[in-house]
Structure 1
Amino acid sequence: MSKFKNLVVNLSLTLGGLFMGVIIGEIGLRVASIEGYQKIGDFVDSAPTSFHTAHPDLGWKLKPGASGEWKGEGASFVRVNSNGLRDDREHTKAKPPNTLRVAVLGDSFTEAIHVPVEQTFWSKLERKLGNCAAVKGRKNVEVLNLGVQGYGTGQQLMMLRKKVWDYNPDIVVLAFFTGNDVINNSPKLEYDLYRPFFVYNASGKLVPDMSFRKLAPLDRNQRAVSFVDRLPSWLVNNSRILQVAKKADLDLKKRQISKDFTVLRANNFNPPKDAVWDNAWRVTEDLIVTMRNEVVQKNADFLLVVVGDPIQVNRDPQRRNKFMQENKIQDLFYPDKRLEKLGNREGFRVLTLAEQFKGYTEKFQVCVHGFDNSVPCGGHWNEIGHRLASIKISQNLCQQLKQSQLPKR
């Protein structure tokens, strides 16, 4: 009996010590104003920033009328117009008379909250294309920015169908980012599953899979969920210790994501290494061709602009070579050349920017990506990158407009 009593006493002392430790920890964290994160709710607005909101078909979209300062990477005052476009202006659905209208689809490089509107490539494109001899003095030029952060090609195709044709554009430009767009199009590669993915049906036709609508918040992105979120809400939301533990866990996951994505991203620069990557590329190419076909059916012109990855255009050749050696990459411009071949095979224009940007960064020793408050020479285009892109795109579009005016033989 004495052994049993000793066991009870020891267990009581242990539990009592743990309980007091928890109480002291809870009080200490509150006194020190150390905070963490509460449990993820049963209903979550899946949106990448406060300028976005959830959407039942697209996953998320820009929030009409949203505005505010952005200082996460770069800096700007962001305004979203009443139609959900990142622009300081409103655009009528009906195309104004005597107007050449260009719609630009893309992801965060196109949305471009990292720079002020006047520095974005689509704003500069409007001004530059207006000086093209084929339209100057004849038509006004209006460029619409339909880019949304995080979108893959499938979501951009759905944007084309749901929103672009309301504006009756003459030209549709798709800005494709080699750094992650192929990944975005595959549910086996993409981390964030709260989005429509296109899959092949029994007839081999690409169709949107809308099953993401049924995903619980805990299942949308395992990289953004902590083990703490599996515990009861009443416990997590009343425990500062658990909230701090959740923050620490997510901070660790964020660092791990960065490492993992560096490895994943490197696969963009090599031919598909397995069936998953082969399918991701196949879906991506078919989505682009489908978009081109639908644009042509509306009697509009289509241009695919291939946005390079920061490493492709880094001003330091040694850094590029090191990246290639570490990841066993034979050709850093593999995705660009693959998309050029797709355009040649399917009969549409492709403008690749990476090699042209690389020549510029090497010659002038500047960065076209990156900001002082983020990764140097990494991330999204800075003002230089947007300016160069606007020049190259306007030259391409202007040349096409000039050719379309030539008398047919």
Structure 2
Amino acid sequence: MKFLKKLLSSLFVLALTLLFADTLLRFIPSPVQYPPWHEIGDPNSIVGIEIVPSTKAVERSACAVSEITTNALGWRDKERSLKKTPELTRIAVLGDSFIEGSQVNDDQIFTRQLEKILGDKFEVLNFGLSSIGTVQESILYEKLVKKFDPDIVITAFYLNDVQNNDPVLEGGPGKNTPLSYLDEAGNIIRFSDEKPFYAFRKWLRIQSPLFRLVKAVYGRLNGFADKYDERTAASTYPKAYSAYGEPETDDWRRAWNTTEGSFLALKKETEPEKKFFMMLVPGMLEVAPDPARLIRSNFGEKYPPSGFDPQYPRNRLLGFAQKNGIDVIDPQLPMVKYIAENNLEYPYFSYTCDGHLNPLGLKLLAEEAATIIR
């Protein structure tokens, strides 16, 4: 009987301690203070990742803090309706984290800045979603975005889309990725199994900052162990950078073919009723005066590898677009000009700890898009 009393007493103290810690974490500014605004691996989502509707959050990194608001439809955007206002030209923008814009405040994201520049005769809907590629964007358009009946569709391309577009490159030989893909018949397929107790784990992630902290620490410890595995030391050079040059393996050739095929599918799905644009989002290496020097300073003297060409993705897609009659929004030259005229220093239009575009970079991107659209 004494043992049972001690056990119950210990469990009660433990429960109070956990409750106190969970409550305290709700008031301490940290990455786990607010519920996550993304859900990864949800079996009910269209592409394997989704944004939590009607959420407010604060995104914190080593070099940026941003306030996040999501709308009732589950996008990083102001409230929108499915029905289009006849007097407005509706633009739908598809893209990855560069369009989602978690590194900047709500009024600084690309779509909000573009809408402001174009004026009150336009509305620009944000369908940006972190971690996806052109394949998932084509699925999103088919299953969701076209229901909004946009007049103009912009699909943004960034370098890592090529990797995202192939399940082997994205998830390894076991295709361990939550993203949705298309088989040869055009059917949506997934390779990762649904995690056990997903609904309960999702509830805990939303409700408990303590659970989020434990999950984050566990993930960091796993990553710390991998970092010091000699066999994976070369992985510090981003896999996505293999797209900076002619593809040398079947995996990369397949990924590039899939990328171009996705753009063709989007063009076919949208035109001629709607206007379709491919938008090339330049990375830091594509606008830097000396990209090879940046590579060496970050990854060592043995980098970049032979065949490294930071202009390869842009040149390839410009040629592809011209061949297939796809209109392109290409802000690279205006950005390079801005760097020279304003003596802009590293990291140019990004952050010291993050390669995503900062508010200035997104503003220049929006200005170039507005020039082309008008």
**Under TM normalisation by the shorter chain, which class is it?**
0.7 to 0.9
Alignment coverage as a number of residue pairs: 308
Mark the structure with the bigger radius of gyration.
Answer: 1
Q: 1:264 offset after TM fit, Å?
A: 1.8
Residue aligning to 2:36: 50
1:292 aligns with 2:267: yes
Residue aligning to 1:157: 138
Residues 288-309 of structure 1 show CA distances to partners (whole Å, capped at 9, x for unaligned) of 1101110115x11000001122
SS in 1 for 2:271: helix
In 1, the alpha carbon distance for the partners of 2:296 and 2:93 equals 34
In 1, the alpha carbon distance for the partners of 2:312 and 2:217 equals 44
Q: 1:128 offset after TM fit, Å?
A: 1.3
In 1, the alpha carbon distance for the partners of 2:239 and 2:195 equals 26
Q: Is the 8 A contact 1:98 1:140 kept in 2?
A: yes
**376, 379, 393: which is aligned to 2:355?**
379
Residues 343-386 of structure 1 show CA distances to partners (whole Å, capped at 9, x for unaligned) of 11111112233343233224422444433xx51xx410001101
1:184 aligns with 2:164: yes
Residue aligning to 2:30: none
SS in 2 for 1:189: helix
Instruction: Tell me the TM-score normalized by structure 2.
Output: 0.74
In 2, the alpha carbon distance for the partners of 1:77 and 1:100 equals 28
Change (3 A) 1:259 1:112: farther
Change (3 A) 1:76 1:153: same
- Please tell me the residue identity of whatever aligns with 2:67: F
Change (3 A) 1:95 1:274: same
- Which structure 2 residues correspond to residues 76-155 of structure 1 after superposition, within 5 A? 76-87=66-77, 89-130=78-119, 140-155=121-136
**306, 310, 323: which is aligned to 1:345?**
323
Q: Is the 8 A contact 2:246 2:307 kept in 1?
A: no
Q: Is the 8 A contact 1:153 1:181 kept in 2?
A: yes
Residue aligning to 2:311: 333
Residue aligning to 1:319: 293
Residues 308-340 of structure 1 show CA distances to partners (whole Å, capped at 9, x for unaligned) of 222222355662585896222353211111111
In 2, the alpha carbon distance for the partners of 1:340 and 1:255 equals 40
- Please tell me the residue identity of whatever aligns with 1:340: L
Give me the identity figure in percent: 26
In 1, the alpha carbon distance for the partners of 2:180 and 2:165 equals 9
5+ long unaligned stretches in structure 1: 1-48, 131-138, 218-236, 399-409
In 2, the alpha carbon distance for the partners of 1:258 and 1:288 equals 34
In 2, the alpha carbon distance for the partners of 1:106 and 1:258 equals 30
Q: Is the 8 A contact 1:272 1:278 kept in 2?
A: yes
- Which structure 2 residues correspond to residues 228-239 of structure 1 after superposition, within 5 A? none
- State the superposition RMSD in angstroms: 2.9
5+ long unaligned stretches in structure 2: 1-34, 197-210
1:210 aligns with 2:196: no
**306, 310, 321: which is aligned to 2:284?**
310
In 1, the alpha carbon distance for the partners of 2:228 and 2:104 equals 26
1:71 aligns with 2:60: yes
In 2, the alpha carbon distance for the partners of 1:182 and 1:244 equals 30
In 2, the alpha carbon distance for the partners of 1:258 and 1:353 equals 35
Q: 1:143 offset after TM fit, Å?
A: 0.4
1:393 aligns with 2:369: yes
Q: Give 4+ residue runs of structure 1 displaced > 6 Å after superposition.
A: 243-246, 255-258
SS in 1 for 2:261: helix
In 2, the alpha carbon distance for the partners of 1:79 and 1:160 equals 22
- Please tell me the residue identity of whatever aligns with 1:100: T
Change (3 A) 1:245 1:293: closer
Q: 1:187 offset after TM fit, Å?
A: 1.2
Q: Is the 8 A contact 2:350 2:361 kept in 1?
A: no
Change (3 A) 1:244 1:295: closer
SS in 2 for 1:146: strand
Instruction: Tell me the TM-score normalized by structure 1.
Output: 0.68
In 2, the alpha carbon distance for the partners of 1:247 and 1:165 equals 39
Residue aligning to 1:59: 48
Q: Is the 8 A contact 2:178 2:190 kept in 1?
A: no
Residue aligning to 2:11: none
Q: Is the 8 A contact 1:368 1:384 kept in 2?
A: no
Residues 199-218 of structure 1 show CA distances to partners (whole Å, capped at 9, x for unaligned) of 324xxxx4432343x3557x
Q: Is the 8 A contact 1:64 1:84 kept in 2?
A: yes
Q: Is the 8 A contact 1:339 1:350 kept in 2?
A: no
- Please tell me the residue identity of whatever aligns with 1:123: R
Residue aligning to 2:225: 252
Q: Is the 8 A contact 1:105 1:146 kept in 2?
A: yes
SS in 2 for 1:94: coil
